[in-house]
Amino acid sequence: MEIPVYIVTGFLEGGKTVFIQETLESDDFTKDERTLLITCEEGMVTYEKEFLSKVYTEQVEINCEEELTEEFLASCQIKYKPDRILFEYNGMWKLETLLTVKMPANWEIVQIINLVNADTFPVYLTNMRSLVIEQFTNTDMVIFNRCEEMTPGAAYIRTIKAVNPRAQIYFETKSGKPLEVEEVLPYDLDAEVVEIADQDFGIWYVDAMDEPKKYVGKTIKLKGLVYKSDKFSKGTFVPGRFAMTCCADDIAFIGFISKGTKEQLPMIEQLVNREWVMVTAEVRNEFCKDYRKKGPVLYIKEIEYADKPEEELIYF
């Protein structure tokens, strides 16, 4: 029988303990099942023994990453025989450590949740970007708490979606109420030709990946760096940009497959990698063998050579 494993991670004062307490108190989560709670740090809020007993939960504490071993987890299974596992994971530890350790055969990770304090998030993102991005890359759900009306939620969504398009993202006010974040795009989607400014390429790319149907039938105009591959069909290339999501070692090329007409074929054949072009194209959402799935494909209407943008690298 499968034993579900839930991982709740985030930095100190991110609200992990309160979230877990509320989850354990929920009738939808706790009935008569035995829960093993493995805590990896001592936060500002602690678990009372009386509370844990009431929600059929045993707590085990570990103090360093090195204790998180196959032998330790196996001993937990033997000693506590839990119906499910909850990890309150230390945000300063690499999530990869937990994801790669060999767990008992019937343990199965079913959800990873990241709790974020909106007040301190900018500091962590600036000073520990690689660690923050690693958490977002693997998470299923991100909950920003302690939010205010001025919290730049749309920017945070783009940061996460750039590395993990499948992540669900929620915002809560300081009183715990849901906060709706409206995405304000820096271009006019209702325009006859949607012009994507050089600095907005990343915003457009992430949004089109997340909601491709929004762009179907739209004509867009953008500047991109040519990428061609021998694996592409004739008349096909990617006008994209190099983007940095984490650090200099994490720079990646992003863009969508673009297909030209027969008339454009001679020019496209002459294009070489890393040339800058301005492309006007219609967006379709269809299966593409180069993606191995359905996604945005650009059908070129016009193409011309262009000067490189003032800032060649884009950031999330």
- Model pLDDT, residue 71: 97
Mean pLDDT computed over 30-50: 85
Residue 237 β-bridge partners: 258
Q: Which helix (H) or strand (E) holds 22?
A: helix 16-25
> pLDDT above 90 covers what percent of the chain?
77
Residue (of 193, 93, 204) closest to 158 by Cα position: 204
Nearest 5°: CA angle at 125, between 119 and 130? 150
Cα–Cα separations (whole angstroms), residue 309 to 113, 203, 228, 300 = 38, 16, 20, 21
- Model pLDDT, residue 250: 74
Assess whether pLDDT exceeds 80 at residue 221: yes
> pLDDT above 70 covers what percent of the chain?
98
- Model pLDDT, residue 246: 64
Please identify, in words, the CATH class of the domain defined by 3-173: alpha beta
CATH fold of the domain at 194-315:
OB fold (Dihydrolipoamide Acetyltransferase, E2P) (2.40.50)
Q: For 251-297, write each residue's pLDDT tens digit.
A: 889 999 999 999 999 999 999 999 999 999 999 999 998 898 999 99
Instruction: Identify whether the C-beta of residue 295 lies closer than 8 Å to the C-beta of residue 288.
Output: yes
Mean pLDDT computed over 173-195: 91
How do the domains of the chain map onto residue ranges? 3-173, 194-315
Q: For 239-251, write each residue's pLDDT tens digit.
A: 999 998 766 667 8
Place of tokens 């089109």: 208
Instruction: Identify whether the C-beta of residue 174 lies closer than 8 Å to the C-beta of residue 160.
Output: no
For 28-42, 53-67, 292-306, which range has the lowest pLDDT when averaged over its residues? Answer: 28-42
- Mean pLDDT (the chain) is 92
Nearest 5°: CA angle at 270, between 264 and 271? 90
**If pLDDT is split at 50, 70 and 90, which confidence band does 35 have?**
very high
Q: For 79-112, write each residue's pLDDT tens digit.
A: 999 999 999 999 999 999 999 999 999 999 999 9
**If pLDDT is split at 50, 70 and 90, which confidence band does 44 have?**
low
Q: For 124-158, write each residue's pLDDT tens digit.
A: 988 988 889 888 999 999 999 999 989 999 889 98
